[in-house]
Amino acid sequence: MVKGLDKNSASSQNGNISIPHIHNGLRANKSTSIGRQHVESEESLNSVVNFPMAPFEVGNFLTGKYGTTQILSADESTGESTQRVTLKKGWSAPIGHFNTDIEIFVLTGKLRQGGFLLRDLSYSFLPAGIPSGPWVAEEDTVLLWMPDATPTYETQDYASLEQIPENSAYHVKMQHHERMDEYLPAHELHAMKWESTTFLPPGSARKSLYTNKKTGRATWILGLVPMWIEGNFYAGHPTIEEAYVISGDVQGHWSMSDDPFNRRYAIMGKDGYYWRPAHIPHGPFWTEQGSLLLFRTKNRLDCYWMLHNPDITQQDQTRLQTALGEDKSV
């Protein structure tokens, strides 16, 4: 819900995140709520491209001169967040490492990170402490920036090195890092095979981008064929979930943040977004055009199901009786 709000009402400067534009409509007691607030509304599902913009600042890495951000959801106390960031062509940063895990998903543009090119629909997972860079925006680039906390970027250990890709890739802090095997410099979506999904009916497929085998935390792409339909049920699960539509539409019964237990019909469109806490049931869903979505869950996804229309005879007896009753009265 961002209509009529000051465009400067979002901020990420100096590590402070302020997101007044996404608190509208929440009724839960904030002092007893989780860090991130539920973001799911007609506006967020429709498109986030008009969410407020703010300068994007990460010390030693990027200044607001070269980047803007739209904060889609955030824990204001830790900086854990999902942001839609635009980088200007020509921006560059030296070799360094972040102090927190960061996921990056490039929507459009070209971003060079060390020896890797992140372009349309590329993904990267940067564990804390792993050297990266040098960085160059070869085109104006729009990406989803998903840090686990407010990041800092340390460059001191690499300042005397020639700024070439080998000096981050071959660095002892990369090759001997205890989390080196978690590092995903570049997953390019166009090069990945589709896999079967676990819960959804045929016509759905996924491309797995990141999975933490211990916790079940995962990031993946969901693809839905045109006219895919979920069925007569809605579902909840013991993990938060967020999704961003890359293309197409998803229609159905959404658990809006202003009234999460009375689902409302809406169409989620290109650049639509939601971040939903655990145990908020949602659905069922379907699509007209087909759809491509980026999904993230914080823990393993185990669904539990409830009937959407409890009249499993599908005859809708209540409405039928009402209609017959009205006919008699005419």
Rank residues 84 and 276 by Cβ distance to Fe ion and give the closer one.
276
User: Which is nearer to Fe ion, 241 or 249 (by Cβ)?
Assistant: 241
Give the tokens for residue 241.
């979930």
Task: Please say which residue, 230 or 241, places its beta carbon nearer to Fe ion.
Answer: 241
Residue with tokens 């971040």: 275
**Closer CB to Fe ion, 101 or 241, in the complex:** 241
The pattern of x and - marking residues 114 through 143 that bind Fe ion according to CB under 5 A reads ------------------------------
Backbone angles phi, psi at 325, to 5 degrees: -60, -40
Question: How many positions of this chain bind Fe ion (CB under 5 A)?
Answer: 1
3-state helix, strand, coil in the chain (%, to 5): 15, 40, 50
Least distance CB 330 / Fe ion (angstroms) = 45
CB closer to Fe ion, 97 vs 296? 296
Task: Tell the residue number behind the tokens 């079940």, with chain if given.
Answer: 216
The DSSP H or E segment spanning 93 is strand 92-93
Q: Give DSSP secondary structure letters for 36-84.
A: BPPB--HHHHH-STTS--EE--BTTTB-TTTEEEEEEEEBTTT--EEEE
Binding marks (x or -) toward Fe ion, 38..77, rule CB under 5 A? ----------------------------------------
Least Å distance between CB 25 and Fe ion? 20
Going from the C-alpha of 63 to that of each of 69, 93, 183, 227, 240, the distances in angstroms are 11, 10, 25, 44, 31
Shortest distance, position 252 Cβ to Fe ion, whole Å: 11
- Comparing CB distances to Fe ion, the nearer of 34 and 49 is 34
Residue 45 CB, shortest distance to Fe ion, in Å, is: 14
Nearest distance in Å: CB 148, Fe ion: 21
Instruction: Tell me the closest approach of the beta carbon of residue 281 to Fe ion, in angstroms.
Output: 9
Taking a C-beta distance cutoff of 8 angstroms, is the pair 167, 111 a contact? no
The residue (of 10 and 293) whose beta carbon lies closer to Fe ion is: 293
* Token pair for 82: 């999902």
Quick one: 96 or 252, whose CB is closer to Fe ion? 252
Q: E-assigned strands of 249-303? A: 250-254, 264-268, 273-276, 285-286, 291-297
Nearest position to Fe ion, beta carbon? 241
**Nearer Cβ to Fe ion (56/220):** 220
Q: Binding mask 218-247 vs Fe ion (x if CB under 5 A, - otherwise)? A: -----------------------x------
Give me the least distance between CB of 234 and Fe ion, in Å please. 9
Taking the complex as a whole, the smallest distance from the CB of residue 237 to Fe ion amounts, in Å, to 6
Report the phi/psi class of residue 129: left, alpha or beta, with left for phi > 0 and alpha for psi in -120 to 50: left
In sequence order, what are the beta bridge partners of 137? 111
Find, among 63, 60, 123, 118, the residue nearest to 88 by Cα.
63
What minimum distance in Å lies between the beta carbon of 275 and Fe ion?
A: 12
Identify whether the C-beta of residue 129 lies closer than 8 Å to the C-beta of residue 115.
Answer: no
Binding site for Fe ion (CB under 5 A): 241
